[in-house]
């Protein structure tokens, strides 16, 4: 954690928003099925972890959350920050976080944010981000039997966060365009 990795403390109101949105998103399971693999956590818990990170980033960047996408579905883009489509990925691996993007859900128009979530201590760590070109060139692997194939980037492969500006025009890692 020697890099510039902002840590966001999740207030109770922010936690409530994440919980509310997770319940809405999980309600779609009846029509569309769950997307969890293995038996580590249930669908609503998986949604909560992801939304915990989305809410934290929206708060950090003062971005708007779209409350309606959890009713009608979404196109895989989590947030818009400075006119850039953002896909937020959350992990509970605090010590050695990595970015994991399912190949089948990859969005070439997105910037990918990697976060580490510690719900017990109410923290979200902004680990780093990557352009879609970098994600697309990453190694792939599966994590559970019959699970999806994922692009995987280690924390040291990611670009450090800065609050202002979110500059995607500079080349800061090999493979970035």
How many separate domains does the chain show?
A: 1
173 belongs to a structural domain: no
User: Taking residues 86-101, what's their average pLDDT?
Assistant: 94
- Does residue 170 lie in a domain region? no
Cα Rg of the chain (Å, integer): 15
Which residue(s) pair with 84 in the sheet?
81
Residues 8-22, buried b or exposed e (16+ Cβ, 10 A)? bebeeebbebbbebb
37 within domain boundaries: yes
Nearest Cα residue to 162 out of 82, 77, 65: 82
- 146 lies in some domain: yes
When pLDDT is averaged across residues 148-155 and rounded to a whole number, the result is 96
Look up the pTM and report it. 0.84
Give me the mean pLDDT over the 81-109 stretch: 94
Establish if 1 belongs to a structural domain: no
**Polymer length of the chain:** 177
Count of Cβ atoms closer than 10 Å to residue 78 Cβ = 25
| pLDDT of 162 | 72
3-state secondary structure of 83: coil
Are 35 and 43 in contact by the 8 Å Cβ rule? The answer is yes
Q: Per the domain annotation, does 2 fall within a domain? A: no
Dihedral pair phi/psi, residue 2, rounded to 5°: -80, -10
Task: Say which range, 20-34, 48-62, 90-104, 126-140, has the weakest mean pLDDT.
Answer: 20-34
129 in a structural domain: yes
Averaged pLDDT, 149-171: 76
- Is residue 177 a part of any domain in this protein? no
For 145, the domain range is 7-157
Q: Beta strands 79-81 and 123-131: pairing type?
A: unpaired
């Amino acid at each position: 954690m020697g890099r510039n990795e902002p840590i966001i403390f999740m207030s109770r109101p922010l936690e409530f928003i994440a919980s509310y949105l997770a319940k809405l998103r999980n309600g779609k399971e009846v029509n569309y099925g769950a997307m969890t693999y293995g038996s580590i956590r249930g669908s609503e818990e998986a949604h909560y972890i992801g939304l915990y990170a989305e809410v934290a980033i929206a708060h950090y960047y003062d971005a708007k959350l779209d409350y309606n996408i959890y009713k009608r579905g979404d196109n895989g883009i989590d947030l818009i920050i400075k006119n850039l489509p953002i896909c937020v990925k959350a992990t509970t691996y605090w010590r050695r976080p990595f970015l994991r993007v399912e190949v089948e859900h990859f969005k070439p128009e997105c910037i990918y944010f990697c976060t580490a979530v510690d719900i017990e201590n109410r923290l979200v760590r902004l680990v780093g981000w990557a352009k879609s070109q970098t994600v697309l060139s990453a190694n792939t692997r599966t994590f559970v039997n019959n699970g999806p194939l994922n692009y995987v980037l280690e924390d040291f492969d990611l670009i450090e966060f800065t609050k202002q500006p979110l500059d995607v025009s500079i080349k800061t890692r090999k493979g970035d365009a």
